[in-house]
Amino acid sequence: MSLRRLLYPRSLAIVGASDKVGPGFNAWNALRAVGFEGDVHLVNPKRDSLFGQPCYGALADIPGEIDAAFVAVQAEHVLEIARQAADKGAGGLAILSSGFGEVGTDGAKTQRSLAALAAERGLAVCGPNCLGFLNFSGRTALFGTSLPDQVPRGGVAAVVQSGSVGIALLNSARGIGFSHLITSGNEAVTTAADYIELLADDPAVQVIVVFLEQMRQPRKFVDCVRRARAAGKPVVVLKSGRSAGGQAAVTAHTGAVAGAVEVCDAALRQSGAIQVFSLDSLIETALVFTTLARPLKAKGAAMLSLSGGEIALALDAGEQAGLTLPPVSTARQTLTDLLPAFSHIANPLDLTWAGLYDPTVAQRCARALGEQPDTGLLILLQDAPSGLGPQQASRYATLLSAVADGAAEAAVPLVTLSNISGDLHPSYADMAANKAVLCLRGTQEGIAALAQRLAWDRQALDDTAPAASPETARAAARAALDRMPAGVQVLDEHHGRRILASYGLPGIDEILADTAQEAAGAAQRIGFPVVLKALVAETTHKSELGLVRLMLQSVEEVHEAAAALLERARAVAPVTTPRLLVQEMVTPVAELLVGARIDPEFGPVIVTGGGGVQVELFKDVAIRLAPVTPETAAAMIGETRSGRLLDGWRGRPRGDIAAAAAAVSALSRFLHDFADEVREIEINPLAVLEEGRGCRALDCVLLRSDPSIGRR
Amino acid sequence: MSLRRLLYPRSLAIVGASDKVGPGFNAWNALRAVGFEGDVHLVNPKRDSLFGQPCYGALADIPGEIDAAFVAVQAEHVLEIARQAADKGAGGLAILSSGFGEVGTDGAKTQRSLAALAAERGLAVCGPNCLGFLNFSGRTALFGTSLPDQVPRGGVAAVVQSGSVGIALLNSARGIGFSHLITSGNEAVTTAADYIELLADDPAVQVIVVFLEQMRQPRKFVDCVRRARAAGKPVVVLKSGRSAGGQAAVTAHTGAVAGAVEVCDAALRQSGAIQVFSLDSLIETALVFTTLARPLKAKGAAMLSLSGGEIALALDAGEQAGLTLPPVSTARQTLTDLLPAFSHIANPLDLTWAGLYDPTVAQRCARALGEQPDTGLLILLQDAPSGLGPQQASRYATLLSAVADGAAEAAVPLVTLSNISGDLHPSYADMAANKAVLCLRGTQEGIAALAQRLAWDRQALDDTAPAASPETARAAARAALDRMPAGVQVLDEHHGRRILASYGLPGIDEILADTAQEAAGAAQRIGFPVVLKALVAETTHKSELGLVRLMLQSVEEVHEAAAALLERARAVAPVTTPRLLVQEMVTPVAELLVGARIDPEFGPVIVTGGGGVQVELFKDVAIRLAPVTPETAAAMIGETRSGRLLDGWRGRPRGDIAAAAAAVSALSRFLHDFADEVREIEINPLAVLEEGRGCRALDCVLLRSDPSIGRR
């Protein structure tokens, strides 16, 4: 695999080697810093030798094969060097040069040429427009920027699209131990997904942290995160670019509620990635997952503090993050005996000043809490900012030491959390280091990271994709699609339902009619009350156009309404011939929207949530990459607030959630199967009846793909 | 004013003075540290002298009057000392002693005695159960904990209910300059509101920051924040205790959507306070408001960075916080000339490596951006964590210097923002200090603080309370209330509407009936279709009990439905006699909930939002302290998503927002006027018709106060 040869090379070349400060110079130093023991060949046509080694005029002049090359030359020379590297049998290149996709049309053209060459010659490429990578655990590097004096080594592999963010992480002085830092730049060839795939298999890697500006190969990204997770390696993702761009006009609701940001969030969640929203959070989360790497005894935490105020702040953050704080159980008597009579024995526990002035009290409280069967972790809430006077700093350090001893006696890990994110007082930080206690910073950031960690050991992911749809269903839908009127992009509900019926989606009792007379007859056959709709080609949003009449009770009413609707339809679309649709009227427990669409990045996605106009007003939807199993579909319904309406909300009867979930799953499979010719399909509303009575697609819009618009 | 004498004393006593480490010792040292120049009297019956001064056996022995006393003795002695202090003419005491409200029933009793004594003798009390206060600008202190070596003096007055949070702030080493630190403890007598009132008038105070666990005197708190704001002093509030407690069962929706947290948030917003949700945010906000204290030239910011990745993160945070980033205007040509050809000239501006390697480029870009008429502030996005190597740190410091020079030339303030919240590299921090550039930390925290500051100069608050309701309205409502059936807590919609009509709230065309026959006749008089409801005493949620029928079209339908409803009503409430209500049926543009209730803390509050069952599902409501003007009511409707339904949403006709706002305002005035006897009133739904056609209260529930339940 060429990427493995790029990231773990035994023989490499620095093109643009130099002894003057700059990328070529830094690259040489980086190799020294990480302790590279393989062969390094230097290429610089202007020098005979450098660093006591011979210098070659070109890659081609190097004797033998190379695994990888470092390239920091002007963009116009990059392709030629890549060709030479391929000729030398290289697996890949780290290309720092800018002047590619990031600089507009010309650069994008060069980038496409590079990608084509790499594909043809089987080259992996880190970059272009990056800083290269550091592989600490593999003791190798193709990295073009100076390193800090000390980088702690450890289990965190970072993949970042921004070099600046990489430098910030590398120099953060927050105690992160790195196994890798890969700046992936424009990802012309090799993407974050490719790196994750490789890192998931590296035993030196415990946690993978990722900073993305744009997710490339998004389906593969999701798959690779799942794979890393299956290998026990959390992937922490900070994805920027959440600001709203202009949203294009949409024909159905699904597009309005499942835009780029929402679909990406859903995909990350589905992949089991831990999504964070700031660099601070990314750091705290990486620290938590590397430091608390082994399974915890239980999924709950016990907190200790000297301060009701700090406890109140932590409780707020804990509720937001879903931190599990089990009530005091086996420790109650011990704590009652240890603390003053007025103390409130609870989790979090206020040690009061008794805990500060008598360290043995703190130690024994910590031990008792730690020994509870549902305590997986102890948290000491304590601010110890660097401005503290020596007296206070030393008291807090003593407290920390005592709590750490108690935690050690109970054999549970301890972390200490400060609300203020600045550096800690050295006395406190040194004590934490002595006792091997992780120091977290920032109430929300620290608590959220811990909540993720506590849930991790026991977290289940969505099922993976369901079994393929039966061939009969596909064939029937295929046939129905083929029978549809040619040249029509927007299929009406009647046609849509006929197609979906092939996938087992429940239709409704309905009859097409062309005249008021026919409609009245149809209504009699269906039974009153009925719903009457006028169908107009290429038209959605019938209600808003006044093309729907509900609750018609008699032949006369149907006749009169039909005449009115036909007239209205002709006014809306003068050149087409409207038809009438007569339908049974049902009384649902609740109405859902069920939509599926082709996302430009992720392909088919499935959406469900509250139906009607509410969907866009409240954006109360659950989103997944399609297809989904009925079990995942039921979980989706349960995630929405509208789903509560089906669950016996305020005395309502329970709705047929199983039938609704089956419909969601079926729609997801349909779009997945016909992704090439259908770009969006939406049932709004899906009427969910009482438990055991199924559901009905009351309306349906199917948008066929426009072959003239290019899609992925 | 006694609080002024407590906080700005000329003569004071330390009860429990000591030369051993402890509160009495710390209090003496604190006075030395702040440079107190008045008289200090020491009280300790066990010593003749301390620190070269005579020591008195009791407060009573001190010659002459004292302004204030520091008290750190056991709780059981506090009352006697407070009496002695009052006898000595003191304005107030700082009582550090614990053992009051925080320790249960006995302590609460002692605290009530203290409060009663203080009220009787006109004493202000800081505490009990606190650390006292520091008044740096007034050079005085009654403070029982050791101080750091250096506390920068400045314009930030902090009022915190938690001593620990006070210590954390004081020692945060984040460059906050304090004028005051007041730890208010249990607030048995003097509350945060009282302190804010006083601080608002102190010319040394620029910003007031407040940490609350519980808001006492909440209406006064709101008034005092408004007053501080009117004096140009922002009040930054971190209110903890957001975690959900058990919510009591509710008879109407209003209580479910306007609980303690929501009402407190609404009150803070209405007061013009700047609400923050972490100690880090509180610090960044205080720094921004003290450093950028003068009016800014414009409400927009221009950002500069070396990194697309950092820009992406800042844009996400900026959108969330509502930061104004005007597009590049007058600077475009200059920037285009300065930066490489491929550069994307935009705000935020990526300086690219050109800005790093040539400081004059950065300086001239900053100047050009700063000189734009809509740039009020420059932001340099740059991480400079302490782990940086010397080469990079020096480059970043040079960049900062250049940008600072450009900002100075343009005469706009510059701040620099790092994504990582740890301490900055000393080279960078020193350069910032040299150039007087504020360093903010944390993407979200820093950006949110800046967004608040940029909006501050131009922010308008809600109107204050509307004019009192006309005496005729009050009298008519009074008379209607008096006519209501005695002993009934829950008034039905018919009675509720009659009372509200006095306040100009639109009713509906309706007739009461006792039999099916009468109902049918009433329907004929009103005109079809009609709505039929059964009224059952003390019963709400008629729809859910099946006591409502809509869209009845004929005498026969009404007759049949009436018989069925009477039967159902008798089944629901066998011992009462149900009545029927026949109403016109209207077609609203949208339905709102309008509710008012007595909040146990804040008194009358008004709520509006989406009507029907949606209200609890989505909690889409706007809340204010009642009463509100129609203008504020219109703003409330505009804040909710449901309000958009009235504003021409997806081709709907516009709703009569003015009529709806008038109804909201009227309901708020009604509850305010009758707060003693009505505890909740809710119109759900208020049907809002098309513009110019008004609105109708389709249902109404009025809950009278239960005089047996004590209220504030």
pLDDT digits (tens, 9 = 90+) for A153-211: 999 999 999 999 999 999 999 999 999 999 999 999 999 999 999 999 999 999 999 99
Q: How far is it, in rounded angstroms, from Cα A332 to Cα B498?
A: 57
Q: What's the pLDDT score for residue B638?
A: 94
Give yes or no for residue B688 having a pLDDT over 60.
yes
Q: Which of A162, A419, A646 to mutate to test the interface with B (most CBs of B within 10 A)?
A: A419
Please indicate, yes or no, if residue A488 is contained in any of the structural domains: yes
Which chain B positions have a beta carbon within 8 Å of A20's beta carbon? none
On whether both A504 and A514 belong to a single domain, the answer is no
For residue A442, the distance in angstroms to the closest alpha carbon of chain B comes to 7
Kindly state the average pLDDT of the residues A521-531: 92
Phi, psi of B113 (to 5 degrees): -65, -45
Q: How far is it, in rounded angstroms, from Cα A607 to Cα A256?
A: 11
Which chain B positions have a beta carbon within 8 Å of A650's beta carbon? 541, 544, 613, 616
The answer to whether the Cβ–Cβ distance between B385 and A171 falls below 8 Å is: yes
Q: Confidence band (pLDDT; 50, 70, 90) for B248?
A: very low
Q: Is A438 on the interface with B (CB under 8 A)?
A: no
Please indicate, yes or no, if residue B306 is contained in any of the structural domains: yes
Q: Confidence band (pLDDT; 50, 70, 90) for A245?
A: very low
Structural domain boundaries, residue A614: 462-508+587-712
Residue of A nearest to B385 (CA): A172
Give yes or no for residue A317 having a pLDDT over 80.
yes
Say how many Å lie between the first and final Cα of chain A, rounded.
Answer: 26
Which of A493, A482, A527 minimizes the C-alpha distance to A696?
Answer: A493
Interfacial A residues in 314-373 facing B (CB < 8 Å): 315-319, 341-342
| Last residue of one domain, picked from the residues B552, B585, B618 | B585
On whether both B445 and B408 belong to a single domain, the answer is yes
CATH number, domain with residue A318: 3.40.50.261
Interfacial B residues in 534-553 facing A (CB < 8 Å): 541, 544, 551, 553
What is the average pLDDT score of chain B? 91
The answer to whether the Cβ–Cβ distance between B278 and A419 falls below 8 Å is: yes
CATH number, domain with residue B76: 3.40.50.720
Give yes or no for residue A462 having a pLDDT over 50.
yes
Tens of pLDDT, residues B538-566: 766 677 777 888 888 889 889 998 998 89
User: In chain B, pLDDT over 70 holds for what percent of residues?
Assistant: 96
Kindly state the average pLDDT of the residues B358-368: 97
The answer to whether the Cβ–Cβ distance between A171 and B318 falls below 8 Å is: no
Q: Which of B549, B617, B645 to mutate to test the interface with A (most CBs of A within 10 A)?
A: B617
Give yes or no for residue B709 having a pLDDT over 80.
no
On whether both B367 and B452 belong to a single domain, the answer is yes
Give yes or no for residue A497 having a pLDDT over 60.
yes
Tens of pLDDT, residues B177-195: 999 999 999 999 999 999 9
For residue B160, the distance in angstroms to the closest alpha carbon of chain A comes to 9
Q: Which of A172, A277, A282 to mutate to test the interface with B (most CBs of B within 10 A)?
A: A172
On whether both B497 and B514 belong to a single domain, the answer is no
CATH number, domain with residue B514: 3.30.1490.20
Give yes or no for residue B710 having a pLDDT over 60.
no
Give yes or no for residue A493 having a pLDDT over 70.
yes
On whether both A140 and A71 belong to a single domain, the answer is yes
Q: Which of B103, B388, B392, B441 to mutate to test the interface with A (most CBs of A within 10 A)?
A: B388
On whether both A25 and A137 belong to a single domain, the answer is yes
Q: Which of A161, A419, A649 sits opposite B168 (nearest CB)?
A: A419
Kindly state the average pLDDT of the residues B198-218: 95
Kindly state the average pLDDT of the residues A52-75: 94
On whether both B431 and B398 belong to a single domain, the answer is yes
Give yes or no for residue B362 having a pLDDT over 90.
yes
Which chain A positions have a beta carbon within 8 Å of B383's beta carbon? 164, 167-168, 279
Q: Which of B145, B165, B342 sits opposite A310 (nearest CB)?
A: B165
Number of structural domains in chain A: 4
| Last residue of one domain, picked from the residues A125, A147, A169 | A147
Q: What's the pLDDT score for residue B711?
A: 35
| Range of lowest pLDDT (A142-151, B400-409, B456-465) | B456-465
The answer to whether the Cβ–Cβ distance between A280 and B420 falls below 8 Å is: yes
CATH number, domain with residue B681: 3.30.470.20
Whether omega before B529 lies within 30 degrees of 0, making that bond cis, reads yes
Please indicate, yes or no, if residue A483 is contained in any of the structural domains: yes
* ipTM, two decimals: 0.92
Q: Is A104 on the interface with B (CB under 8 A)?
A: yes
Q: Which of A107, A244, A277 sits opposite B342 (nearest CB)?
A: A107
Kindly state the average pLDDT of the residues B216-241: 94
SS3 A623: strand
Q: What's the pLDDT score for residue B341?
A: 84
Q: Which of A317, A422, A614 sits opposite B423 (nearest CB)?
A: A422
Q: Which of B25, B172, B281, B557 to mutate to test the interface with A (most CBs of A within 10 A)?
A: B172
On whether both A20 and A137 belong to a single domain, the answer is yes
| Last residue of one domain, picked from the residues A130, A147, A164 | A147
For residue B493, the distance in angstroms to the closest alpha carbon of chain A comes to 21
Please indicate, yes or no, if residue B290 is contained in any of the structural domains: no
User: In chain A, pLDDT over 70 holds for what percent of residues?
Assistant: 96
Which chain B positions have a beta carbon within 8 Å of A440's beta carbon? none
Count the Cβ atoms, other than its own, within 10 Å of residue A38. Answer: 15
Residue of B nearest to A357 (CA): B22
Q: How far is it, in rounded angstroms, from Cα A624 to Cα B12?
A: 68
On whether both A107 and A35 belong to a single domain, the answer is yes
Q: Which of B99, B315, B444 sits opposite A243 (nearest CB)?
A: B315
What is the average pLDDT score of chain A? 91
Which chain A positions have a beta carbon within 8 Å of B617's beta carbon? 641-642, 644-645, 649
On whether both B545 and B663 belong to a single domain, the answer is no
Radius of gyration over every alpha carbon of chain A, rounded to an integer in angstroms: 31
Q: What's the pLDDT score for residue B192?
A: 97
pTM for this prediction: 0.93
Give yes or no for residue A662 having a pLDDT over 70.
yes
Q: What's the pLDDT score for residue B433?
A: 97
Which chain A positions have a beta carbon within 8 Å of B287's beta carbon? none
Q: Are B507 and B695 in contact (CB under 8 A)?
A: no
Which chain A positions have a beta carbon within 8 Å of B163's beta carbon? 307, 309
Q: Is B105 on the interface with A (CB under 8 A)?
A: no
Q: Is B389 on the interface with A (CB under 8 A)?
A: yes
Count the Cβ atoms, other than its own, within 10 Å of residue B652. Answer: 16
* Residue A571 CB burial class (10 angstroms; 0-12, 13-18, ≥19): exposed
The answer to whether the Cβ–Cβ distance between B279 and A164 falls below 8 Å is: no
Give yes or no for residue A661 having a pLDDT over 90.
yes
Q: What's the pLDDT score for residue B551?
A: 80
Kindly state the average pLDDT of the residues B336-355: 91
Please indicate, yes or no, if residue B494 is contained in any of the structural domains: yes
Please indicate, yes or no, if residue B499 is contained in any of the structural domains: yes
Q: Confidence band (pLDDT; 50, 70, 90) for A104?
A: confident
Q: How far is it, in rounded angstroms, from Cα B224 to Cα B194?
A: 8
The answer to whether the Cβ–Cβ distance between A544 and B165 falls below 8 Å is: no
Count the Cβ atoms, other than its own, within 10 Å of residue A335. Answer: 20
Q: Hey, what's the torsion of the CAs at A224, A230, A236, A240, to 10 degrees?
A: 30
On whether both B705 and B603 belong to a single domain, the answer is yes
Q: Is A614 on the interface with B (CB under 8 A)?
A: yes
Q: Is B493 on the interface with A (CB under 8 A)?
A: no
Please indicate, yes or no, if residue B218 is contained in any of the structural domains: no
Q: Is B386 on the interface with A (CB under 8 A)?
A: yes
Q: How far is it, in rounded angstroms, from Cα A27 to Cα A251?
A: 53
Which chain B positions have a beta carbon within 8 Å of A252's beta carbon? none
Interface contacts A/B by beta carbons within 8 Å: 256
Q: Is A641 on the interface with B (CB under 8 A)?
A: yes
Interfacial A residues in 9-48 facing B (CB < 8 Å): 21
Name the DSSP letter for residue A676.
T
Please indicate, yes or no, if residue A228 is contained in any of the structural domains: no
Q: How far is it, in rounded angstroms, from Cα A618 to Cα B645?
A: 12
Q: Confidence band (pLDDT; 50, 70, 90) for A710?
A: very low
Which chain B positions have a beta carbon within 8 Å of A244's beta carbon? 319
Tens of pLDDT, residues B474-532: 999 998 888 877 777 788 888 888 888 999 888 889 999 999 999 999 999 999 889 99
| Range of lowest pLDDT (A486-490, B443-447, B664-668) | A486-490
Q: Confidence band (pLDDT; 50, 70, 90) for B252?
A: low
Give yes or no for residue A250 having a pLDDT over 60.
no
Q: Confidence band (pLDDT; 50, 70, 90) for B332?
A: very high
Tens of pLDDT, residues A398-417: 999 999 999 999 999 999 99
Q: Confidence band (pLDDT; 50, 70, 90) for B466?
A: confident
Q: Is A278 on the interface with B (CB under 8 A)?
A: yes
Q: Is B161 on the interface with A (CB under 8 A)?
A: yes
Tens of pLDDT, residues A539-578: 666 777 778 888 888 899 899 989 989 988 888 888 778 8
User: In chain A, pLDDT over 90 holds for what percent of residues?
Assistant: 72
Interfacial B residues in 196-215 facing A (CB < 8 Å): 211, 213
Tokens of residue B366, six digits: 């900053």
Q: Confidence band (pLDDT; 50, 70, 90) for B254?
A: low
| Range of lowest pLDDT (B286-295, B323-332, B455-464) | B455-464
* Residue A247 CB burial class (10 angstroms; 0-12, 13-18, ≥19): exposed
Count the Cβ atoms, other than its own, within 10 Å of residue B576. Answer: 14
On whether both B503 and B362 belong to a single domain, the answer is no
Tens of pLDDT, residues B58-67: 999 999 999 9
Which residues are paired to B61 by β-bridges? Answer: none
Q: Which residues of B317-351 are buried (b: 16+ CB within 10 A; e: fewer)?
A: bbebbebbbbebeebeebbeebbeeebebebbbbb
Q: Confidence band (pLDDT; 50, 70, 90) for B244?
A: low
Q: How far is it, in rounded angstroms, from Cα B198 to Cα B216?
A: 16
Give yes or no for residue A77 having a pLDDT over 90.
yes
